[in-house]
Each structure stands twice: as C-alpha cells, then as structure tokens.
Amino acid sequence: MGKAGKGSKTGSGSGSGKGGGKGAKKGGDSQTCWTSNDFTIRTAEKQRKGDLTEKQEERIRRSALLNRNTKEKREKGKIRLHIKLTQRQLEKLKERLEKWDDVEEDLLVKKEEEERRKSQEEEDEKPNKKRRKGPETWKLKGAARPAHLVYDFDTRYVDPYIKAHEDAKKKASRCRNILILCKGEFGAEDDKDIPQPQCREYLSLLMQLGNLSMQL
C-alpha cells in the first residue's frame, strides 16, 4: 500500500508537471499567433503608408511644376523680362516719333551731350579722397536770394497758364507724325526729313521684339 501510494504521488506529480509545462508552452504560442484583428491593423498601417507615399509624390510633382530653378524656366523668365524692356523702349520711341518736334529734339540732344560731357569731366577729375564741397555748390535760400528773385511778383508777373498755352500752340504747329509721313522709308539715310538714328532704332526694336516672341 505504501509503494502504491508513492507511485501514485510521483505519477500524479510528474503528470501534473509535464501537463503544466505543455500548457505554458501552448499559452506562449497563442500569444505570438496572428489573429484577424492583427491582420486588420497591419493592412490599415500599410494603407496609411501608401497614402503617405502618394502624398509625397503629389508634393514632389507640384514642387517640380512650381519650381523656377530649372534652366528652361530661367531662360524663359529672362526672355519675358527682355520682351518687357523692349516693349517699353518701343512705346517711348513711338510717342516721340508720333509727336516729333525738331526744336525740342535739338534741345534734348544738346542736353544729353552736356550731361555726358560733365559726367566725363567728373570722372576724369575725380579726386582719390572725398573732400568737402566748396561754396560754388551752395544754393541760396530764403532771404539770401537776390532782390529781383524775391520781390518780382507784382512787378514782372507772367501768367504761367497763358505762357504754357502759347507754347503748346507753337509746339502743335511744329509737330509732325513721322510714322505716317515717312512710312516705308525708315531705313533711308540720305533724306533729311527722316530723323535718324531714331527711325532705324524703331525698326531694330520691332525686329528684336518679334525675334524674342518667337523664342517663347
């Protein structure tokens, strides 16, 4: 009876120990097993990653479209700026040719030559060190002005509106439309009635504008 009891004890103990070990192993395996919920979470994460990559691709595509650093877009931008500059020069020259006044043009040429001469003299005589300007550059203001500049209001008054009206009438009688009078003869050099080099410059700007427009 004693031996049987021992055997039963040992058998039950060993059986329970083995059974407990197997049960623990199965329980560990069940924790690492994938369930339907795990698969759902994984597919959702994959889909989220795919959405992120699509957004990144869309962002890259938009930045490539809006990017101005490509060589082709830089060249097109330069051409557009050049076209704007040429159009402005053309409009200014066209206004001059439509209301051409020989007297004003002569004065303008003399003024430009005088400014060019003064700037050249200043460049030639420019000192190495900056110095204070002398009294020849001072401008008198207020009471320091000469009397005939201060008190000539009621003695030698000239209505500016009447004078401007008379000057405008004289200018209108002198002005002529070169674009109509010299149509088709802008390239002529022997004719004195055709102002040169303004007419040749007008033709050159027109050709330049057409060439730039074709490059876009």
Residue 160: predicted pLDDT: 81
The total of structural domains in the chain comes to 1
Full DSSP string of 9-54: HHHHHHHHHHHHHHHHHHHHHHHHS--HHHHHHHHHHHHHHHHHHH
- What is the average pLDDT value for the chain, to the nearest integer? 76
8, part of any domain: no
Task: Give per-residue pLDDT as tens, 112-153.
Answer: 999 999 888 888 776 666 777 777 777 766 666 666 666 655
10, part of any domain: no
198, part of any domain: yes
Q: Which domain holds residue 208?
A: 48-100+177-216
139, part of any domain: no
157, part of any domain: no
Name the percent of the chain lying above pLDDT 70.
Answer: 71
C-alpha 180, offset from chain centre: 37
Strand partners, 100: 176
163, part of any domain: no
Q: State the sign of the Cα–Cα–Cα–Cα dihedral 203, 209, 210, 215.
A: positive
Upstream peptide bond of 195 is cis (omega within 30 degrees of 0): no
- Does the predicted model carry a pTM greater than 0.85? no
Res. 31: pLDDT tops 60: no
38, part of any domain: no
